[in-house]
Amino acid sequence: MKLGLAAGAGAVGAPALLSVQAVSRLRARTRVTDGCWWWTGTIRRPQGYGWFRDDGRRWYAHRAAWAVANGAIAPGLYVCHRCDNRLCVRPEHLFLGPHADNVRDAASKGRLRPGGNADPSIDRRPKLNAEIAGEVRAAFTGAWGDYARLARTFGVSSQAVRDIVLGRHYRHG
């Protein structure tokens, strides 16, 4: 059995219907609190939104929650978070709006940065250069947990440290 939602109602792949099993999955993977209702299922990186599959189609959890609570999402509309918590699926914390409203909301809350980065927790400026890569290589001991330790020290990912140590990036430094 399917819930009758219009095409584009909350799906990444714009499915026409959300199954009863998917609604059960949505509810089972939601931790209800007095504030936000937290999605506890799969998180799509790097965006940080919850998502799941239903009949082979991907749904963002917050869009599915909106569609279950309120019905179809018209084409071209975003499901935005009043609470600014990407993992929140509480319908009362969500609202519909076009892209312009989403950007305006982000700007009014100080979440827009020069260069178009809407999330201030993500610093897109380069953190590495040849000199720092040399320091990473010099500090690498090969001990268990070294990639993670150096990643924390230099403010980069473990994969970036691994790429430097293996000579994939900044070979001459």
Task: Print pLDDT tens along the chain (173 aa).
Answer: 333 333 333 334 333 468 888 889 899 999 999 999 999 988 877 778 888 988 888 889 999 999 999 988 888 899 999 988 888 999 999 999 998 888 888 888 877 655 555 554 545 445 677 788 888 888 888 888 888 888 888 778 888 888 888 888 776 54
Tell me what pLDDT residue 3 has: 38
Distance CA 99, CA 78 (A): 7
Distance CA 80, CA 93 (A): 8
Tell me what pLDDT residue 5 has: 35
Distance CA 92, CA 9 (A): 17
Q: What is the 3-state secondary structure (H, E, C) of the chain?
A: CEEECCCCCCECCCCCEEEHHHHHHHHHCEEECCCCEEECCCEECCCCEEEEEECCEEEEHHHHHHHHHHCCCCCCCEEEECCCCCCECCHHHEEEECHHHHHHHHHHCCCCCCCCCCCCCCCCCCCCCHHHHHHHHHHCCCCCCHHHHHHHHHCCCHHHHHHHHCCCCCCCC
Distance CA 139, CA 158 (A): 14
Tell me what pLDDT residue 66 has: 93
Q: Mind listing the domains of the chain with CATH numbers?
A: 2-108 (3.90.75), 130-165 (no CATH)
Tell me what pLDDT residue 146 has: 86
Q: What does pTM read for this prediction?
A: 0.58
